Amino acid sequence: MNPSDDKEQSAFIVAAPSSSSGKTTVALGLMAAIKARGIQVQPFKAGPDYIDPAHHKRICERPSYNLDTWMMGDSPVKETFARAMEDTRVGIVEGVMGLFDGKGGGLAGSTAELSKALDIKVILVVNAKGMAGSVAAIIKGFEEFDEEVKLAGIILNKVGSERHFLILKEAIEANCKSPVLGYLPRDESIAIGERHLGLLGTGESNIDIAALAEMITTHVDIDELIKVTAIEEKDSADRVTPATLDSVSIAVAQDKAFLFYYQENLEMLEALGAKLLYFSPIADYELPPTADAIYLGGGYPELYASELEANKTMRRAIKEFAESGRPIYAECGGLIYLGESITTKEDETFEMAGVLPIKGRMLDRRKSLGYREVKVQKGSPFMDEGETIRGHEFHYSEIELLEEIKKVRTTDKDELEGLLYKKTLASYIHLHFASNTKFAEGFIEAARKCQPLKG
């Protein structure tokens, strides 16, 4: 904690019975309302997600960290949480899906499992539209389903009126143990737009954060919420790293087409000695001149395909970089960009970087969604054979192989994946480096070995 702030810390998870209950709306509103009081808020996101953390960062003016017990494991989750909470007073974790929804219908990776790993309480957001006394049955069920998951309070969403709120509150207080901390009235002006990969990005959403914060301040007892979610200060642990590697520079694609990165992945690369050089495949005409490697994250290349195609100089630079044998790592949107072309849902085709012999095509429906564990096969450039690492897959596109290309990983579905060309590794799977730090170490080591090519 900041030595100048002698008040105790508070931390909680904003969860719900299901998706589309209002978790994000309430979480963003609480972040904004608490920050408006001059209190530093540290945001987090449960599960694999990139868009919600971008909204968190915009409001809290500090990075939001993904916390996922299945991908990362309990210890890395605790360490990430403790480090991020060191200089802040209130931590807010936005949950994922329903409170008890985890991998394959179990609790692995669920918001509930995360609350137990961190030993912090849950604020349950319940969509009360069209309900009266039945709301108590839902809350009572969540209280009793797993008593190790501690509910600190209830916030009701989409409440029709003050009278409606009083009816709901009376039913809950008569039948449940959790206190009602407030509500949000039904108001479509605070709805957050969505597209196929989730919410609209921070530059596209028209939600009025100031109005949402005011609504939270008016209808939710923030003082009580902070009081009932007080925590003991968490012991921070420095990330254990190997001996410092020679410094390398990694060019990281960062613009409106490529924006999906786990904050922990970026910080891990830096902790291992890498200097991150951000560049835009849309706007920049050359790669950072000192780059030893390239990291191409996911995003929306299909939305900006014409701009990516128009930047022939950058596409040529990336292809030349790959041909030189220097390492490139790409995920999902980055995979598509490294291919020959992409065809949009409108049946327009645009040329891409031409590194990999693949064509990408956007689909009307989701192609793949879920957690993935990959096992490294012989010949992988960044990890030894037999090593495993975890991540997730979520895309509305598919690729067509134009010719045979080496694949160096198998998934838990026993499928070969991970396309390899020279030292370019690309895949649909978004890896979380905390699940096996050897991947980040191997990526940096591959970059270091190629440094003599510079100049």
pLDDT surpassing 50 at residue 3: no
312's CB contacts (< 8 A; 6+ apart) are: none
144's CB contacts (< 8 A; 6+ apart) are: none
Structural domains in the chain, CATH included, are: 10-228 (3.40.50.300), 248-453 (3.40.50.880)
Nearest to 287 by CA among 263, 237, 321, 264: 321
What tens digit of pLDDT does each residue of 391-438 get? 999 999 999 999 999 999 999 888 999 999 999 999 999 999 999 999
Q: pTM of the full predicted structure?
A: 0.91
Query: What pLDDT was estimated at residue 76?
Result: 95
| Rounded Cα–Cα distance for residues 231 and 127 (Å) | 27
Nearest to 200 by CA among 47, 350, 55: 55
What token pair was written down for 86?
């060191």
What tens digit of pLDDT does each residue of 296-351 get? 999 999 999 999 999 999 999 999 999 999 999 999 999 999 999 999 999 999 99
1-10, 103-112, 134-143, 302-311: which has the minimum mean pLDDT?
1-10
What token pair was written down for 288?
């950072």
Query: What pLDDT was estimated at residue 241?
Result: 52
Q: Write b or e for each residue in 135-146: b if 16 or more Cβ atoms lie within 10 A of its Cβ, otherwise e.
A: bbebbeebbeeb
Query: What pLDDT was estimated at residue 232?
Result: 86
pLDDT surpassing 70 at residue 274: yes
- Please state the φ and ψ torsions of residue 295, each to the nearest 5 degrees: -120, 115
In order of 43, 99, 100, 136, 151, the CA distances from 141 in angstroms are 28, 12, 12, 8, 12
| Rounded Cα–Cα distance for residues 423 and 451 (Å) | 14
Query: What pLDDT was estimated at residue 200?
Result: 45
What tens digit of pLDDT does each residue of 152-211 get? 999 999 999 999 999 999 999 999 999 999 999 998 666 665 544 444 444 445 678 999
Confidence tier at 2 by pLDDT (50, 70, 90)? very low
pLDDT average, residue stretch 287-294: 97
The H-or-E segment that residue 167 falls in is helix 162-175
Q: Which of the 8 DSSP states describes residue 176?
A: -
Query: What pLDDT was estimated at residue 8?
Result: 86
Query: What pLDDT was estimated at residue 38?
Result: 96
Are the beta carbons of 229 and 150 closer than 8 angstroms? no
Expressed in angstroms, the distance from the first to the final Cα of the chain is 45
18-27, 105-114, 132-141, 190-199: which has the minimum mean pLDDT?
190-199
What tens digit of pLDDT does each residue of 211-270 get? 999 999 999 999 999 999 999 876 665 554 544 445 899 999 999 999 999 999 999 999
Nearest to 415 by CA among 437, 395, 393, 445: 393
Are the beta carbons of 297 and 257 closer than 8 angstroms? no
| Rounded Cα–Cα distance for residues 188 and 160 (Å) | 12
| Rounded Cα–Cα distance for residues 181 and 123 (Å) | 9
- In angstroms, what is the C-alpha Rg of the chain? 23
CA angle 75, 125, 156 (to 5 degrees): 160
Catalytic residue (one of 60, 176, 332, 450): 332
Q: Annotate 212-274 with DSSP letters as a single string.
A: HHHHHHHHB-HHHHHHHTB-PPPPP-PPP--SPPPPEEEEEE-SSSEEE--HHHHHHHHHTTE
Residue 332 is among the residues annotated as catalytic for this protein: yes
Query: What pLDDT was estimated at residue 412?
Result: 87
| Rounded Cα–Cα distance for residues 36 and 290 (Å) | 41
Q: Which of the 8 DSSP states describes residue 434?
A: G
Are the beta carbons of 138 and 18 closer than 8 angstroms? no
Could you list the beta-strand ranges (E) of 229-381.
248-253, 258-260, 274-279, 293-296, 298-299, 328-331, 341-343, 349-351, 358-362, 368-376
Q: What count of other Cβ atoms lies within 10 Å of the Cβ of residue 19? A: 12
| Rounded Cα–Cα distance for residues 23 and 15 (Å) | 6
